[in-house]
């Protein structure tokens, strides 16, 4: 495409300002802009929401959990020795960043007028408080000492509200076993993940205390949680761990432990794919319609250009430039609107959500720059390929004599 064709395309668009195609061109630009804005919003919100849900699940637990092989899942698991020979091999994997030991114990919390069944999750100094810190809303983390038991616990703020407890209050827990046991704890901190599966059930406590309640030696644990560097490698690392822990233990990823949550988030990809197809279809129809309207208005011009000796290919290039300018202007506006709205939502949290239904208090946004660039390039290429059809019609089907006579 040469400079002459480019200048002619500019003149054609300026000429349209005084003709009936002017509003059609504007509608086409607005249509492309709206479509691209919707795609950017959908991609950013979907990515942000998925990351927010995954982070909440991981912060309360881990990416991979090793436990005793037992067909009957229970919160009173079979213990095993934490000093396993395979740990040294796992530590050599660069994708694994942390191991943390835990044990669980079912309990009943009783207050003056409330009774609630909960699960004590015993954690120690290996627990990644750095990841969990964002979920803490009040109080302080648990102190850990290998020589003494801590009576401090951390529960969700929603559970504390239900039990009418505040930080510093004494909490009485009852354990149904033989013989039955009662323990007094002190509420030291409050967390809130926004996920009822955790908030209504789990209370963080000293690992040593849970071990003692279970009657275990200090070397025995209920499981080992593994944090990895890249979530996208979770299945690969999970298979790696399973190959090395032996047949008496099992390694499960969070996707296996909570399939309903992740099946739900996987539906986002399907929704985005459908939305992307619809928006591209709208862009195509809008462009083709606009293009043919411009052709009808400029039929005489086409005849004159051919009569002056312009080749078929160069006439086609003129109208390809016209379509390209319309497409690029619409995409520019769409990118500005899409990115601008996402930035406003990311930093100002304008659109709020009900955390009891959506797990988060506002619509989360996450930019994936390579994906957005790929979508821009993809839409541009598709639009240019689509424009070849009407442009070829212009250059081949419209003859010089019929075009000059056209009114």
The residues spanned by each domain of the chain are 3-56+262-405, 70-246
Where b means 16+ CB within 10 Å and e means fewer, 314-345 reads bbbbbbbbbbbbbbebbbebbbebbbebbeeb
Helix (H) or strand (E) holding 109: strand 96-110
Per the CB < 8 A criterion, the answer to whether 152 and 188 are in contact is yes
Beta strands per DSSP E along 232-346: 249-253
Per the CB < 8 A criterion, the answer to whether 69 and 250 are in contact is yes
pLDDT of residue 17: 47
Per the CB < 8 A criterion, the answer to whether 138 and 95 are in contact is no
pLDDT of residue 403: 46
pLDDT in tens, 98-124: 899 999 999 999 888 888 999 999 888
pLDDT tens, per residue, the chain with 407 residues: 456 666 666 666 665 544 555 777 788 888 889 888 988 998 898 888 888 888 887 877 789 999 888 755 667 778 898 888 888 889 889 999 989 999 999 999 988 888 899 999 988 888 888 778 888 888 888 876 554 577 889 999 989 999 989 999 999 999 887 788 888 999 999 998 888 878 888 999 988 888 888 888 888 999 999 999 888 889 899 999 998 888 888 889 988 888 888 887 778 778 888 888 888 888 788 877 777 777 666 666 666 666 666 666 777 777 777 778 888 888 999 999 999 999 999 999 899 888 777 778 888 998 888 888 988 888 888 887 877 776 666 555 555 544 444 44
Query: Cα-flanking dihedrals φ and ψ of residue 395, to 5°?
Result: -75, -30
Beta strands per DSSP E along 157-201: 170-175, 181-191
pLDDT of residue 394: 59
pLDDT in tens, 272-319: 888 888 888 887 888 777 777 776 666 666 666 666 666 667 777 777
Rounded Cα distance, 29 and 284, in Å: 12
Whose CA is closest to 252, among 55, 32, 73? 73
pLDDT of residue 333: 93
Whose CA is closest to 8, among 325, 327, 328? 325
pLDDT of residue 13: 62
- The pTM is what? 0.74
Q: DSSP assignment, residue 17?
A: G
pLDDT of residue 332: 93
């Amino acid at each position: 495409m040469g400079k002459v064709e480019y200048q002619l395309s500019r003149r054609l668009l300026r000429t349209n300002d005084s003709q009936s195609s002017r509003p059609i061109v504007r509608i086409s630009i607005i249509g492309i802009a709206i479509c691209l804005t919707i795609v950017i919003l959908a991609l950013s919100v979907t990515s942000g929401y998925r990351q927010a849900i995954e982070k909440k699940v991981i912060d309360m637990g881990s990416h991979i959990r090793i436990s005793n092989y037992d067909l009957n899942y229970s919160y009173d698991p079979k213990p095993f020795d934490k000093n396993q020979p395979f740990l040294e091999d796992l530590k050599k994997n660069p994708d694994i960043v942390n191991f943390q030991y835990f044990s669980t114990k079912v309990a009943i919390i009783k207050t003056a007028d409330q009774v609630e069944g909960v699960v004590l999750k015993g954690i120690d100094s290996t627990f990644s408080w750095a990841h969990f810190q964002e979920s803490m809303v009040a109080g302080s983390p648990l102190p850990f000492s290998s020589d003494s038991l801590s009576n401090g616990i951390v529960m969700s703020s929603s559970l504390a509200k239900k039990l009418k407890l505040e930080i510093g209050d004494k909490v009485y827990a009852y354990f149904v076993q033989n013989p039955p046991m009662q323990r007094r704890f002190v509420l030291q901190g409050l967390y809130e993940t926004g996920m009822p599966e955790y908030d209504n059930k789990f209370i963080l406590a000293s690992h040593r205390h849970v071990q003692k309640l279970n009657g275990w030696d200090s070397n025995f644990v209920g499981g080992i949680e593994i944090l990895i560097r890249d979530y996208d490698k979770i299945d690969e690392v999970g298979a790696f761990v399973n190959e090395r822990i032996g047949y008496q233990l099992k390694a499960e990823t969070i996707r296996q432990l909570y399939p309903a949550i992740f099946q739900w988030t996987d539906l986002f990809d399907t929704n985005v794919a459908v939305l992307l197809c619809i928006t591209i279809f709208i862009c195509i129809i809008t462009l083709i319609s606009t293009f043919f309207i411009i052709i009808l208005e400029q039929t005489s011009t086409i005849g004159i250009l051919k009569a002056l000796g312009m080749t078929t290919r160069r006439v086609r290039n003129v109208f390809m430039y016209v379509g390209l300018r319309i497409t690029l202007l619409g995409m520019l506006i769409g990118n500005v609107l899409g990115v601008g709205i996402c930035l406003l939502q990311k930093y100002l949290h304008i659109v709020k959500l009900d955390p009891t239904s959506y797990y988060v208090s506002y619509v989360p946004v996450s930019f994936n720059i390579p994906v957005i660039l790929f979508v821009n390039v993809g839409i541009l290429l598709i639009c240019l390929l689509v424009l070849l059809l009407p442009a070829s019609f212009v250059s081949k089907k419209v003859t010089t004599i019929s075009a000059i006579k056209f009114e």
